[in-house]
Amino acid sequence: MMYTFRFSLILLFLFQIGKAGAQSPSNRLDVVQIEKYLQKSYQEYMEAINTDDRETEEKFLKNMLTPEMQEKRARLACATDSDPMIRAQDVTEYSIQSVRCKHLSGCWYEVSYRPYPKDSTTYIPLRITADSLGKVRISYVTPDWGNRNYGDYWFDIPEEKVMDDQDGKTFVETFYKSYAYTYIKMRPDLEQGLKRLRGTYCTPIMQEKYVRSRKEVEQEDPMFDPVIGNDDFDVFWYNSLRVHPSETKGCFTVSYGYTKIRVALQCQGGKYKIADVELIP
């Protein structure tokens, strides 16, 4: 009886090994197909940029990016004054011909190209996902400040609970981590999530200032968010988020990436709220 049981376990083990081996070439084939698909799509997109073919550009963005990444791309474009898909404002014929794509790991790939033969190579890690119909889409593109970093672990950050009833510094830290978290997760209800945080933790006057500030810059910077002093909060800025007391009582300096803002608080009934935010040049 024991012999039969051991023999069954051995057969099961061999079957699993065989099954994994049988799946390996198929998985490799999928990777190669995706590499070719991304390379071809990028070349078509860059050709459209080079020829000022806006229709093809828009088609690429609509077909290749998830809806959430389409919105993030718009925010990144405002923040960098360039196209985050290529980390540049324009391309050359050589750029198009030099495009390559390779698999990094898991759902991460890297597109690379050189503007001219003697130029250094531009590397752009990106994450792909499959939509409900199984179509491959780009769900995240590493911005210029992320260099060649990639990996799902960057996005593995805790959801912060805003603590508004302890002290000012704790409130500012937890609020901004929660606000940043909402941007980083790129969920379909991102705007509603941000609005909910502002409505709960900003004074009515600050909320009015937010609306007014957005209207003042909507022509030149339509994605600007006065609360963070930027157009977006990217995952590669999260670890640099710092809060320091200001010389002015009830004020704190919030810094991350290349951005610095001054935050003024108001305390009512033992709970803090953000009363004002100013971008520090």
**Contact predicate 186/140, CB 8 Å:** yes
pLDDT of residue 86: 98
How do the pLDDT tens digits run along the chain, 281 residues long?
A: 444 444 344 334 334 433 433 334 457 669 999 999 999 999 999 999 999 999 999 999 999 999 999 999 999 999 999 999 999 999 999 999 999 999 999 999 999 999 999 999 999 999 999 887 788 999 999 999 999 999 999 999 999 999 999 999 999 999 999 999 999 999 999 999 999 999 999 999 999 999 999 999 999 999 999 999 999 999 999 999 999 999 899 999 999 999 999 999 999 889 999 999 999 99
Query: What is the strand order of the sheet 136-141 is part of?
Result: 100-105, 108-113, 122-130, 136-141
Burial of 112 per CB tally in 10 Å (0-12, 13-18, 19+):
middle
pLDDT of residue 194: 98
pLDDT of residue 5: 40
> What CA–CA distance (Å, rounded) separates 177 from 159?
8
> What CA–CA distance (Å, rounded) separates 260 from 276?
14
> What CA–CA distance (Å, rounded) separates 124 from 102?
11
pTM of the model: 0.88
Task: Name the residue among 171, 168, 158, 155 with its Cα closest to residue 237.
Answer: 155
Task: Name the residue among 188, 107, 119 with its Cα closest to residue 152.
Answer: 107
Angstrom distances, CA of residue 35 to CA of 32, 59, 86, 104, 109: 5, 20, 17, 10, 8
pLDDT of residue 29: 62
> What CA–CA distance (Å, rounded) separates 152 from 6?
40
pLDDT of residue 268: 86
pLDDT of residue 7: 38
Phi, psi angle pair for 79, to nearest 5°: -70, -35
